Amino acid sequence: MTYFLLDGLDTAPVTILLAHGAGAPMDSASMAATAKALAAAGFRVARFEFHHMAARRYGHRKPPPRAETVNPEYIKAIADLRAKGVTGKLIIGGKSMGGRVASMVADEMFLKGEIAGLVCLGYPFHPPGKPEQLRTKHLADLRTPTLIFQGTRDEFGTKEEVATYGLSEAIEVIWLEDGDHDLKPRKAVSGFSTADHLRTVAETIMAKLAQPSASSS
């Protein structure tokens, strides 16, 4: 059974399932702040770890696997979350690699009525400094309602680059001023704090993916 960290009220009508990025666990400062911001906006938030990250807690240092190889782990996490009694509308997603994996299983789950949408926090469109190594092929035909939150300083995909990618019309990219790959801005430069950007993330998800008019699971 997948182990979850849960935030927010268990009576919340919408749950967001989040996976971590390649280099930091589900209880990293960035993931914790995101979960708390989403919970404060009225969501139930469930965080989980892929096996390679969970193994690090027991001294097994494993490098991140190829993202597509952990797709079954994400699908299992959705099933395990439901098995724990979590009902109602479900949105899946994650930070960086976690969001990428979620995006690869999203359509299968969406077309089955299992999920209502997808949220990617700092999508890794390409490795830093390697804009030719795109990770966007499956995003061209994505049918799941999707929000990608990207900082304008993110080295994994700039605003200018992303504008050329030909993403599915189901995807909306929301740019967060001066945010890095963790969506963290420099307040002295931008006037925004990380809390400001996370509040925008939560409010945007609520407005665009969590309303009753959206497809329900």
Across 38-49, b (16+ Cβ under 10 Å) vs e yields bbebebbbbbbb
DSSP reduced 3-state for 101: helix
Give the pLDDT score at 61.
Answer: 84
95, 111, 68, 77: which is closest to 5 by C-alpha? 77
DSSP reduced 3-state for 68: helix
Give the pLDDT score at 63.
Answer: 84
Helices (H), the chain: 29-40, 51-56, 71-83, 97-111, 159-162, 187-190, 194-208
Give the pLDDT score at 216.
Answer: 41
- Cα–Cα distance measured from residue 95 to residue 181, given in angstroms and rounded to the nearest whole number: 9
173, 77, 178: which is closest to 125 by C-alpha? 173
Give the pLDDT score at 209.
Answer: 97
Q: Can you name the residues that pair with 48 across neighbouring β-strands?
A: 19
Q: pTM of this prediction?
A: 0.95
Give the CA distances from residue 157 to residues 19, 84, 89, 164, in Å, rounded to whole numbers and listed in that order: 20, 36, 30, 11
* pLDDT per residue as tens, the chain (217 positions): 999 999 999 999 999 999 999 989 999 999 999 999 999 999 999 999 999 999 998 899 888 899 999 999 999 999 999 999 999 999 999 999 999 999 999 999 999 999 999 999 999 999 999 999 999 999 999 999 999 999 999 999 999 999 999 999 999 999 999 999 999 999 999 999 999 999 999 999 999 999 875 444 3
CB 86 within 8 A of CB 7: no
- Cα–Cα distance measured from residue 38 to residue 170, given in angstroms and rounded to the nearest whole number: 22
Q: Give the end-to-end CA distance of the chain in Å, rounded to a whole number.
A: 22
